[in-house]
Amino acid sequence: MAQKKQEQKKKPVKRETPKAPPKAPPREAEKEKPKEVPRATLAENVVLIGRKPVMNYVVACITFFNSGEKEVIVKARGRAISRTVDTVELLRRSFVKDLEIKSINIGTEEIQREEGGTRNVSTMEITVAKKGS
């Protein structure tokens, strides 16, 4: 029995984990490479319509108006255009009674397909503002 206790009391062997090699200094080509210029950012008062429920976009518009924006632009393309119209109509009829539709712009964008060729996608932009602003 004394031997068993001695075997159990053995200390575990510490194993060293391999250290990561130090990073190499950047190459000359990487140093001189200019940083990517970010795409043109959208104005702060733009709501892009996608696949989410209509109420999400209505709440986004209300949030813009409550934060002091005078005008909100609601944009969509393709199948989301009907959701854009629903968003503006729900906003106008139920939530912001003094809402004025400033402009409605429609257009077409050409999208490059992976297989080659182009495809036309309809776009819509509705600008709404509170009356008196």
Question: Which H or E run contains 48?
Answer: strand 46-48
pLDDT digits (tens, 9 = 90+) for 107-126: 999 999 888 899 999 999 99
Who has greater pLDDT, 9 or 101? 101
Which residues make Cβ contacts (< 8 Å) with residue 130, sequence separation at least 6?
Answer: 65, 70, 96, 98, 99, 100
The CA distances from residue 52 to 12, 30, 85, 121, in Å, are 56, 41, 14, 19
Which of 3.30.110.20, 3.30.465.10, 3.50.50.60, 3.40.50.300 is the CATH number of 42-133? Answer: 3.30.110.20
Average pLDDT over residues 27-42: 49
Q: Collapsing DSSP states into helix, strand and coil, what is residue 24?
A: coil
Are the CB atoms for 88 and 74 separated by under 8 Å? yes
* pLDDT > 90? residue 132: no
Domain boundaries, the chain: 42-133
Q: What is the mean pLDDT of the chain?
A: 81
Are the CB atoms for 119 and 113 separated by under 8 Å? yes
